[in-house]
Every structure is written in structure tokens, then in C-alpha cells.
């Protein structure tokens, strides 16, 4: 039997997932939170929610977890831009996870799904980018491919099973409560504070407060039209260098240096060295040659009027989001201790 208002958030120990759980609880909505590893419960301390084990690669675990759920917030996914085997570790996981969880939702009788996609699934060739412009034609990155193909699959599966499904597409989420390991976007602010970005990559990011994205997810469940996609981002992007300049102004005691501009071929040489080092260490590089090819100079400006008008989405501006996120990191120094 469906329990009125019971919501399930997958990937609930992740950055968005955990902040979404907190928001729903504030709104007095009963929450069931799924995690792959139930030993990772620190982020649920003090939260009155049910925490259960479920893995998007294991359909049966979600059939069980989704029993009695009215609204399923499908947040859980492999969110990383680098892996030793990106197709297997990122693309296949996200596609199979989408298929498994929506099939499980259908079997469990879930009424509505808010599917968390990404701005990676948008076509950037026209600015400001709109939802109606379609999908990203750049197929060089497995994470991006997984978000494009995963969202298409989600809509197909939902239509097949007769489930209401709304897709939301967040940009670079920062702010809110955070726990180690930091998500990719928060990790960039950590690199800035630790002076680990010596050169100007000309890479831009569309910063958004994770609390605003969580609110957007909730609004999508309440007001979103089934079969539609909504951008949860800000209108304007900021370069990493401009973000560093803002941090330098806020925290003069850190003596941050503004990254120097260098030719693109030198950037690729630096990235190549970082990739080689990452292979030896078995950890993600700070920068890859693909990052330079795909993202250096890429503008990430969006038309968010659809989310504003239909959902009531009203995010704080990028500068405020960055200031609050930096302040959080500076007050929680354990999150930004430089790794050996």
C-alpha cells in the first residue's frame, strides 16, 4: 500500500541526496533514504529518516526499498568525470541503474519519479541554453554520455510503465551540508583554497547552491509536468579564475594567487602529466586533456525561465552561492585538508 507522502531519496549520503533528505524532513515529509553501504551513516546523525541499503545496480534491492513509496527522487548515480574504465564504471552503471530503478518503481507501484539528470544532457551550441534545444551532441565524455542517454531512457521507461516522471538538470552544486569525500564541484573550491590550480584553464562553471537544487527537486515533484525537463542552474557561469579572485578578496590571509594564462598546448602538456601521475597513483587527476578540449572556453549560460515560471525556482546568484560555500569550507577545515 502506498503511504501518503512517503518519499524515497536514492544516493542519500551524496551531496544533493543528503541535502534533499534534510529539506523534505523540514517540510515534514516522511523520508526513506537509500545508500549502497549502510556503514556510511554519519551524514544522517540527528535526522529522523529511515536509512536502508539499496544499490542501483541491484534491481531487487530497489523493489524492496520502494515498497509503499509515493514519490521517488532518483538521485543516486556514479557522479565522477574520471575512472580507469569509464564505460564500465560510469556509463554502464548509470544506464543500468536508470533501467533498474524505474523498473523497480513500476513493480512497487510508485506514483511519481523526479529523475536527477544534469546540465551535461543539454545542447550548449546555442546560448543561453534551453531545455527545448535537445541533447548534448558532444560524445567525448562517458559521464556526459550517461546523463544524455540515461535521461532519454528514463523518459522511455516511465512512458512504458505509465509512471509520471519529471527530469531536473542541476549545474555545479556547492554549499549546504557536506561530508567527505566532497563532490566534484565542491572539490574545485577545495583546490582553490589549497592553491592547487596554478594556471588559468579558462574553464567555466555554473555555480548553484545545492539547497536551491533540493528545493527545485521538491518543486518538480509538486508542480512539474510529467515528461518535461527543467534546468536547475543560474543564468550566468563563472570561470575558475574569477572564482579564485573572489576567494582571494574574501580571504586575503590565504595569499591566494590568480592563476596565470598560458597557451592551450601547454595546458594539455600539464594535463597529460597529471593523467600519467593519476594512473600511477590510481586516483583522479586534477585536470585531463579531455577537460581542456571539451571545457576550456565553453560557456555555461542557461535560460531558466521554464523552471522559474512553472516551478517557482528562485536560486541565489552564483557569487552568493560561492561566498557561502567558501565560508562553509573555511569553518569546516577538516573538509579541505590537503591530501598527501
Per residue in 172-226, pLDDT (tens digit) is 999 999 998 899 899 999 999 999 998 999 999 999 999 999 999 999 999 999 9
DSSP state string for 212-266: HHHHHHHHHHHHPPTT-EEEES-SS-EEHHHHHHHHHHH-GGG---PPEE--HHH
What is the predicted pLDDT for the residue at 4?
Answer: 66
Classify residue 255 by burial, with Cβ atoms within 10 Å: 0-12, 13-18, 19+: exposed
**Cell representation of residue 250:** 574574501
Residue 245, domain member (yes or no): no
Does the pLDDT value for residue 334 go beyond 60? Answer: yes
Q: What is the mean pLDDT of residues 96-120?
A: 97
Range of the domain at 139: 7-175+208-235+300-316
Residue 268, domain member (yes or no): no
Q: Which CATH number covers residue 45?
A: 3.40.50.720
Residue 271, domain member (yes or no): no
Buried b or exposed e, range 33-46, using 16+ CB within 10 angstroms: bbbbeeeeeebbee
**Cell representation of residue 106:** 513500476
What is the predicted pLDDT for the residue at 232?
Answer: 98
Cα Rg of the chain (Å, integer):
19
The closest of 173, 81, 163, 58 to 115, measured between CA atoms, is 163
Q: What is the mean pLDDT of residues 82-89?
A: 88
Query: How many residues in total does the chain contain?
Result: 340
What is the predicted pLDDT for the residue at 178?
Answer: 94
Does the pLDDT value for residue 336 go beyond 90? Answer: no
The tens digit of pLDDT for each residue in 211-266 reads 999 999 999 999 999 999 999 999 999 999 999 999 999 999 999 999 999 999 99
Residue with the bigger pLDDT between 333 and 38: it is 333
What is the predicted pLDDT for the residue at 340?
Answer: 47
Residue 78, domain member (yes or no): yes
Classify residue 217 by burial, with Cβ atoms within 10 Å: 0-12, 13-18, 19+: buried
Residue 44, domain member (yes or no): yes
Residue 62, domain member (yes or no): yes
Residue 158, domain member (yes or no): yes
Distance in angstroms (rounded) separating the CA atoms of residues 316 and 318 = 7
Of 28-42, 210-224, 320-334, the least confident: 28-42
DSSP 203: B
Of 37-41, 97-101, 168-172, 304-308, the least confident: 37-41
Specify the pTM: 0.95
Distance in angstroms (rounded) separating the CA atoms of residues 61 and 51 = 13
User: What is the count of structural domains for the chain?
Assistant: 1
Residue 327, domain member (yes or no): no
What is the predicted pLDDT for the residue at 283?
Answer: 82
The closest of 315, 304, 305, 131 to 214, measured between CA atoms, is 315
Amino acid at each position: 500500500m502506498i503511504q501518503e507522502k512517503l518519499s524515497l531519496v536514492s544516493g542519500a549520503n551524496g551531496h544533493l541526496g543528503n541535502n534533499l533528505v534534510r529539506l523534505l524532513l523540514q517540510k515534514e515529509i516522511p523520508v526513506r533514504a537509500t545508500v549502497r553501504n549502510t556503514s556510511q551513516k554519519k551524514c544522517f546523525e540527528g535526522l529522523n529518516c529511515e536509512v536502508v541499503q539499496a544499490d542501483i545496480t541491484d534491481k531487487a534491492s530497489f523493489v524492496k526499498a520502494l515498497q509503499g513509496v509515493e514519490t521517488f527522487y532518483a538521485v543516486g548515480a556514479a557522479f565522477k568525470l574520471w575512472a580507469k574504465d569509464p564505460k564500465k564504471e560510469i556509463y554502464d552503471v548509470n544506464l543500468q541503474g536508470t533501467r533498474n530503478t524505474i523498473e523497480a518503481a513500476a513493480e512497487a507501484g510508485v506514483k511519481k519519479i523526479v529523475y536527477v539528470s544534469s546540465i551535461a544532457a543539454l545542447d550548449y551550441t546555442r546560448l543561453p541554453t534551453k531545455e527545448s534545444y535537445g541533447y548534448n551532441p558532444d560524445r567525448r565524455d562517458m559521464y556526459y554520455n550517461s546523463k544524455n542517454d540515461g535521461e532519454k531512457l528514463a523518459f522511455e521507461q516511465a512512458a512504458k510503465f505509465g509512471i509520471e516522471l519529471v527530469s531536473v538538470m542541476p549545474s555545479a552544486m556547492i554549499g549546504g551540508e557536506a561530508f567527505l569525500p566532497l563532490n566534484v564541484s565542491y572539490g574545485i573550491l577545495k583546490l582553490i583554497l589549497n592553491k592547487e590550480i596554478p594556471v588559468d584553464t579558462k574553464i567555466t562553471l555554473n555555480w548553484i547552491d545545492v539547497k536551491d537544487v533540493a528545493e527545485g527537486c521538491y518543486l518538480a515533484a509538486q508542480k512539474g509536468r510529467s515528461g518535461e525537463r527543467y534546468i536547475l542552474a543560474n543564468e550566468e557561469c563563472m570561470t575558475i579564475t574569477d572564482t579564485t579572485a573572489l576567494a582571494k578578496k574574501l580571504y586575503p590571509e590565504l595569499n591566494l594567487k590568480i592563476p596565470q594564462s598560458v597557451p592551450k598546448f601547454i595546458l594539455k602538456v600539464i594535463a597529460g602529466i597529471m593523467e600519467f601521475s593519476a594512473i600511477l597513483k590510481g586516483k583522479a587527476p586534477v585536470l585531463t586533456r579531455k577537460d581542456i578540449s571539451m571545457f576550456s572556453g565553453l560557456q555555461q549560460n542557461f535560460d531558466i525561465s521554464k523552471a522559474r515560471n512553472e516551478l517557482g525556482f528562485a536560486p541565489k546568484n552564483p557569487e552568493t552561492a560561492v561566498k557561502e560555500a567558501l565560508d562553509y569550507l573555511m569553518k569546516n577545515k577538516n573538509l579541505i585538508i590537503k591530501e598527501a
